[in-house]
Structure 1
Amino acid sequence: MSNKKKSSRQAVRKLVVRTNPHSISTEQYRTIRTNILFSMPADDMKTILFTSPSKEEGKSTTCSNMAVVFAESGKRVLMIDGDMRRPTLHHTFHMSNKSGLSNLLLGKGRLADTIKKSGVKNLDLLLCGQIPGNPAELLQSHEMDVLLKEVREMYDLILIDSPPLLAVADSKILANKCDGSVLIINTGKTEKASVVKARDALVTAKAFVIGVVLNNFDLAKNHSYYQNYGS
């Protein structure tokens, strides 16, 4: 991989809410946080899945930044890297991915030893761990149900990053297990047919769809308003 490609991928994974807390993008994440809280029909909704129709639509970046803004609001948050095919959470927080979710589901390790501190107050991480050969089966397992039940008792909110809906079965499995799902759509890339298929996949999984996030939306028309408002 060229240095140019490396720097591009690293830029995508930046936690803008930490590096630029007063930016327009950060305010948008805070707005999404508010909208999610207003859209959740019950206080006992704790597990939220972040997914997208296809790859490279910004779901992992969105989930990571949302985890930080929820933690900054005072909630005890756990972010789980449920993408056991192309995990990214360890890159975002610059950590080793030697142990994580896959290890726990295979009965290797203890939850208390596997959860990691993120460096952000109130935010803990459960990385993917070693990439398994059977991710869908592990996510469908009784061990996954037990894990989710256990972390529900430990945290106010659990955010799960998952693979794209139209690529593999993993996200549909997780959507059925979570209290709510958020669909991330790349405004300049995602085709309408893919959005409809992704919505239908969530409906089939009997998921509660909290809402849709339009990623890479052009704010050029309102840029001056935001700049003046924040000055």
Structure 2
Amino acid sequence: MIYHPTTPLEAVTMRKQNADTAVYLAGGTDDLRLNGSAQGKDLIDINGLGLDDIFVQDGKLYIGARCTFNQIIESDLVPEFIREAARFCASFTKRNSATVGGNIGLRRQDSYLAAALTAADAVLKSITPHGEEMKPIGEYLQSGCKRLIEYVVLDADRTGWVKRFTNTTSSHAAVTAAVSGGIYALSVSGSDFVYGTTPDLADSMEFTDDISGSAAYKKYLAKIVFTLGR
């Protein structure tokens, strides 16, 4: 079944009522693929809710959850290191459908955007059954809440850098790291997402072997990445 809510509140209420049987649908790059996250589940189609604009207001940059990666890349309003993170997605076709909200909401360990946006101290303007709330993206990524993301909000003049280590441009990332304004963020395949105000994040992590690389390889990268600089 596909639901077509007309407001964000209606969408998130549907999600709460069908917590185990429904998922949000926007770009569909993960939901609709073979064995994707939506397999066997109902869909809550949020494509009629807008949330696909990028603008600056009172020094803050707002990126709509339904904005595609290509919209981010092509916008002069978006800080360069966030645009670079979006460019990590090598497929132009995928960048034309993959959305900001979807990439964050999936909480994947190889997320293209999670490390950069967390280091940017971004917050999520989101809707819950109780109304609109602002939640730091780092806290969201470490939780299991099912709120509907409306906008990603960060300082419009934010600067920083982001690095991604992978076997090929189309492979799952072994390590993605970002730094901005004294905030460090580290995403490692097979490990929990971590962030903080010191670069020694790897010291608190456990590493495992998987398709992206050995535990030793990922541990080495995680320990040295912040010393490499841009």
TM-score, length of structure 2 as denominator length: 0.24
Point out the structure with the larger strand share: 2
